[in-house]
């Protein structure tokens, strides 16, 4: 088997982790641009005459805490040198991500119980769209997390580092979304967009 074929067949060879790391940075850049564009569209729509803020459910604070905890646990897993300890921290970080998704579903149920449904107003539509898009990215992270759990101890370190990096990205996006939904009111959106009050 030639060297090029061996590199393709074996993702654990030196250089492969660098390529995957660069690929993750590219993905994070693309996903960040996608979320930024959706947030800009949200602000522009909120500045319209029919823009009205929604009352955010308290569960979003719990889901934020879970995402922070998951990010911290994965960073600690990356910094830990012992295999068993790193695996325990990795498991706990993934459990936080699963709990985050469950709490997000609970938050959606609370909104629907308050008659804040997808078609009720533009802000609700954007809220559901952006939180669902973020949830899809969390699910994708859980796929990589599961693959990292299955990796042997000799090859898990760089995979844990990539998982930690991705979780930090998920946390940063979530904080931006949560802050936007919390602090950008229709009046603030009109100021940002230069719409006369």
pLDDT digits (tens, 9 = 90+) for 13-67: 456 667 888 999 999 999 999 999 999 999 998 888 877 888 899 999 999 999 9
CATH number of the structural domain spanning residue 109: 1.20.120.80
Backbone angles phi, psi at 163, to 5 degrees: -60, -45
Residue 163 lies in a domain: yes
Separation CA 138–CA 165 (nearest Å): 13
Torsion sign across C-alpha atoms 4, 6, 12, 14:
negative
Residue 7 lies in a domain: no
Residue 64 lies in a domain: yes
Residue 34 lies in a domain: no
Residue 48 lies in a domain: no
Residue 132 lies in a domain: yes
Residue 19 lies in a domain: no
What range defines the domain where residue 169 resides? 60-184
Residue 3 lies in a domain: no
Per the structure, the count of domains in the chain is 1
Give the model confidence (pLDDT) of 135-193 as tens digits: 999 999 999 999 988 876 656 788 899 999 999 999 999 999 999 999 998 888 888 88
In eight-state DSSP terms, residue 82 is S
18 burial via Cβ count (<10 Å: 0-12, 13-18, 19+): exposed
> Angle at Cα 147 formed by Cα 161 and Cα 67, nearest 5°?
55
The proportion of the chain whose per-residue pLDDT surpasses 70, expressed as a percent, equals 88
């Amino acid at each position: 088997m030639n060297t090029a074929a061996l590199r393709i067949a074996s993702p654990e060879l030196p250089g492969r982790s660098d390529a995957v790391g660069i690929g993750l940075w590219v993905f994070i850049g693309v996903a960040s641009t996608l979320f930024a564009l959706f947030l800009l569209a949200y602000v522009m729509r909120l500045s319209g005459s029919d823009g009205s803020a929604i009352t955010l459910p308290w569960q979003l604070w719990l889901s934020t805490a879970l995402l922070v905890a998951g990010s911290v646990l994965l960073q600690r897993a990356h910094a830990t040198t012992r295999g068993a300890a790193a695996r325990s921290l990795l498991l706990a970080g993934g459990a936080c991500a699963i709990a985050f998704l469950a709490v997000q579903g609970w938050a959606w149920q609370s909104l629907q119980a308050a008659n804040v449904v997808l078609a009720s107003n533009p802000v609700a539509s954007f809220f559901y769209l952006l939180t669902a898009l973020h949830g899809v990215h969390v699910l994708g992270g859980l796929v990589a997390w599961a693959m990292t759990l299955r990796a042997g101890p000799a090859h898990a370190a760089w995979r844990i580092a990539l998982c930690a990096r991705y979780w930090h990205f998920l946390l940063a996006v979530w904080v931006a979304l949560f802050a936007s939904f919390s602090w950008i009111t229709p009046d603030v959106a009109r100021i940002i967009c230069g719409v006369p009050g």
